Amino acid sequence: MLYKENSQNQDYERYFSQSLSNDQSELIGSILYSREEVNNILSAKFSPETKNGLIYSVNRISMNSQDFDYFAKYFDLIDPHQIQNSTSEVAMHLEYYFRDFDPTTLTKEDKEKLKDILVLLNQWVDVIDVEYDGITYQNQNEVISNVLNDNRKDFFGSDVWRNIIVGLDRVSKDNITFAKSIEN
């Protein structure tokens, strides 16, 4: 009986480890993609899909970070004072901004907002870079694979995902006022 219970717990932990690593990969990819596209807009190198891609990616940031926050609080895995769903809230404001945004008619005000958004995205990437050293949009698959391979058996128990969620939330708390101000 004890063996069966222990085996089931290990199965659950493997499932959670796999699920967490997949969700974190999507969260990281969405942040890197958003930064890449904002840079492209500021460099006038964007495509017709840029706006929809940005809306989708910041929506995924919002949804994934909210899921991580809920999961961590529900299972008491992170001190609830360390995470306040701030990343999700900031990303939601970015989504609202990009829904009304037209990259083909950039105003001076739009460029300033995009530069400020880029600062925020760079701060998020700095948090990610602590756990995924040297990560960029171009090498994300390789870097994420290396980190996940090192933690594959117990991503659930590792500090990698916790450190990123707490770090993103810390940065986001400092940027909530800014995020609210960019909505059109």
pLDDT in tens, 47-81: 889 999 999 999 999 999 999 999 899 889 899 88
| pTM: predicted TM-score of the whole model, two decimal places | 0.92
Residue 151 placed within a domain: yes
Residue 10 placed within a domain: no
Q: What is the pLDDT along the chain (184 residues), one digit of tens a residue?
A: 444 455 567 777 778 888 888 999 999 999 999 999 999 999 999 888 999 999 999 999 999 999 999 989 988 989 988 999 999 999 999 999 999 999 999 999 999 999 999 999 999 999 999 999 999 999 999 999 888 887 767 788 889 999 999 999 999 999 999 999 997 5
In three-state secondary structure terms, 42 is helix
Residue 106 placed within a domain: yes
CA quadruple 34, 136, 162, 153: dihedral sign: positive
**E strand or H helix at 97:** helix 86-100
What does the pLDDT read at residue 150?
A: 79
What does the pLDDT read at residue 163?
A: 95
What does the pLDDT read at residue 3?
A: 47
Residue 13 placed within a domain: no
What is the spatial distance between Cα 17 and Cα 32, in angstroms, rounded to a whole number?
22
What does the pLDDT read at residue 31?
A: 98
CB 42 within 8 A of CB 114: yes
Residue 143 placed within a domain: yes
Residue 1 placed within a domain: no
Q: Give the total number of structural domains in the chain.
A: 1
Residue 15 placed within a domain: no
Residue 150 placed within a domain: yes
Domain boundaries, position 104: 21-76+83-182
What is the spatial distance between Cα 58 and Cα 92, in angstroms, rounded to a whole number?
7
